[in-house]
């Protein structure tokens, strides 16, 4: 019997008071027996020190890169928050998207809530949300101007900011599920992907160029704007983007 096992046996003796069961004694003896079977090796201190230093350098580099990313993300977030000032209190998780404004060379960052859902569809087959920065009263006044020119405009039922407002105008029809947000206005498809940008201010009051006809702005897929182009060519105000919706609560 090995010395270790003798010790184990001694410890297992009920008179010793350890109270270990036979299986515990056996486990202890087995572990000690096998541990001694490991051949000693010269500690590779120098190699471990070297690999530790290399790993530390990589770790430090990643930490620095991560810090830069975090700072950059913070700057972008502040920038986006500056554009998207709203009276809404629900902090929906925003996704920052970058789009290029039609008449602005700078990249625009708009915050879009991932959980945004359109409200009840209006009688018009066009709809969007009202950008949070819009003063509904102002928009209504602009639209009233359009209406006075014979455009089909549905004014919102409520002039309160952040309440719904109808900016409706035929014949521009948006595919269902598209919405607009931000300043300048960014249009998103139902999955929240930016589709195209119109300039700040409501379309229809800013003139054809601001609507982006022919100036590089991507149009909604499937949207026939030939009639609008004709209008723009004649110098008339284009038909306004529409929309009206109660500003759907962020959920």
Partner 1 sequence: MGDHDAFFVGLVESRYDALVRSAYLLTGNVEQARDLVQAALTKVYAKRVGVRDPGAMEHYVRRSIVNLHISSWRRHRGREASVAEPPEPLARTGEVPESVPVADRVAAQVDLWRALHTLTPRQRTAIVLRYFEDLSVAEVARLMDCGEQSVKTHTARALAHLRALLGEHEIDRKKEAEVA
Residue closer to partner 1, measured from CB, 25 or 169: 25
User: How do the residues of the chain divide into helix, strand and coil, expressed in percent and rounded to 5?
Assistant: 35, 10, 55
3-state secondary structure 124-166: CCCCCCCCCCCCHHHHHHHHHHHHHCCCCCCCCCCCCCCCCEE
Of 19, 41, 106, 123, the one binding partner 1 (CB under 8 A) is 41
Interface with partner 1 (CB under 8 A), residue total 38
Q: How is residue 113 annotated by DSSP?
A: E
Residue closer to partner 1, measured from CB, 5 or 95: 5
Query: Least distance (Å) from partner 1 to the CB of residue 125?
Result: 54
3-state secondary structure 48-66: HHHHHHHHHHHHHHHHHHH
Query: Least distance (Å) from partner 1 to the CB of residue 43?
Result: 4
Place of tokens 């229809």: 204
Residue closer to partner 1, measured from CB, 49 or 70: 49
CB atoms within 10 A of CB 160: 14
Q: Stretches 43-51, 143-151, 164-172, 201-209: which one binds partner 1 (CB under 8 A)?
A: 43-51
Query: Least distance (Å) from partner 1 to the CB of residue 16?
Result: 12
Binding site for partner 1 (CB under 8 A): 1, 5, 8-9, 12, 14, 21-36, 38-41, 43-45, 48-49, 51-53, 55-56, 58-59
């Amino acid at each position: 019997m090995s010395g270790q096992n003798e010790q184990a046996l001694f410890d297992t003796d009920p008179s010793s008071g350890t109270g270990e069961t036979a299986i515990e004694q056996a486990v202890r003896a087995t572990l000690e027996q096998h541990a001694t079977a490991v051949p000693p090796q010269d500690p590779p201190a120098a190699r471990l020190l070297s690999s530790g230093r290399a790993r530390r350098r990589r770790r430090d580099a990643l930490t620095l890169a991560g810090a830069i990313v975090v700072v950059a993300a913070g700057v972008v977030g502040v920038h986006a928050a500056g554009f998207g000032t709203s009276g809404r209190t629900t902090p929906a998780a925003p996704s920052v998207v970058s789009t290029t404004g039609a008449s602005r060379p700078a990249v625009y960052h708009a915050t879009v809530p991932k959980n945004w859902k359109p409200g009840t569809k209006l009688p018009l087959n066009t709809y969007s949300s009202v950008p949070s920065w819009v003063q509904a009263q102002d928009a209504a006044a602009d639209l009233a101007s359009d209406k006075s020119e014979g455009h089909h405009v549905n004014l919102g039922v409520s002039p309160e900011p952040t309440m719904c407002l109808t900016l409706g105008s035929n014949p521009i029809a948006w595919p269902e599920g598209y919405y607009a947000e931000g300043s300048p206005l960014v249009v998103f498809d139902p999955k929240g992907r930016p589709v195209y940008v119109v300039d700040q201010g409501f379309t229809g009051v800013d003139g054809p160029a601001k609507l982006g006809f022919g100036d590089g702005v991507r149009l909604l897929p499937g949207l026939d704007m030939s009639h609008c182009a004709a209008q723009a060519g004649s110098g008339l105000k284009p038909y306004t983007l529409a929309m009206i919706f109660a500003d759907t609560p962020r959920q």
